[in-house]
Amino acid sequence: MNKKIKKILKKKNKSKVICLTAYSKNFAEIVDKHADITLVGDSLGSVLYNYDTTRKVTLENMIEHSKSVRIGVKKSLMVVDMPYQTYQNKRQALINARKILKETKCEAVKLEGGFKIKSIVEYLIKNKIPVMGHLGLLPQSIKGKFKSKGKTEREKNKLISESKLLESLGVFAIVLECIRGKTADLITKSISIPTIGIGSSAHCDGQVLVTDDLVGLNSTSIKFVKKFVNIKKEINRGIKKYKLEVLKSSFPSKKYSY
Supply angle C-alpha 7, 76, 3, rounded to 5: 35
- Among 131, 56, 65, which Cα is nearest to 104's? 65
Q: Please say whether the beta carbons of 55 and 82 come within 8 A.
A: no
Q: Please say whether the beta carbons of 186 and 143 come within 8 A.
A: no
Supply angle C-alpha 148, 110, 20, rounded to 5: 75
Backbone angles phi, psi at 177, to 5 degrees: -105, 125
Three-state DSSP state, 141: helix
167's CB contacts (< 8 A; 6+ apart) are 174, 191, 192, 193
3-state SS of the chain: helix, strand, coil percent to 5?
A: 45, 15, 40
CA–CA dist 146, 96 (Å, integer): 28
**Facing residues of 37 across strands?**
19, 77
Q: Please say whether the beta carbons of 123 and 93 come within 8 A.
A: yes
Q: Which residues carry out catalysis?
A: 177
Q: Tell me the CB-side half-sphere exposure of residue 62, using CA atoms within 13 A.
A: 29
Phi-psi category of 105—alpha, beta or left, where left has phi over 0 and alpha has psi -120 to 50? left
